[in-house]
Amino acid sequence: MKVEEPFSPAPEDETYYLSLERFAELLGMSDQPEVLEEWIANGKLPTRVIAGHRLVDLRAFLRPDGKPKP
């Protein structure tokens, strides 16, 4: 059985990244990966590649202007 970790980021205070799979799961879009890929291609979903893995930059996603806080 898979145990879900609680979701409680503090994006204003620190950087928070999610895997594409976890992000899709939280949005209820696990069956629509092509939509996430389209959002990434169009710049609507901010991501970073860290250690070879593409991760959603949740802090940038939650900001109204879509840019990380300096």
Q: What is the pLDDT of residues 4-62, one digit of tens each?
A: 666 555 555 567 899 999 999 999 999 999 999 999 999 999 999 999 999 999 888 88
Per the listing, tokens 């992000």 go with 23
State the Cα–Cα distance between residues 39 and 53, nearest whole angstrom: 17
Answer whether 30's CB lies under 8 Å from 24's CB.
Answer: yes
pTM above 0.85, yes or no: no
Q: Which residues are bridge partners to 48 per DSSP?
A: 55
Q: For the chain, what are the domain ranges?
A: 17-62
pLDDT at 1: 44
Sequence-ordered list of residues with C-beta below 8 angstroms from that of 62, at least 6 positions apart, any chain: 11
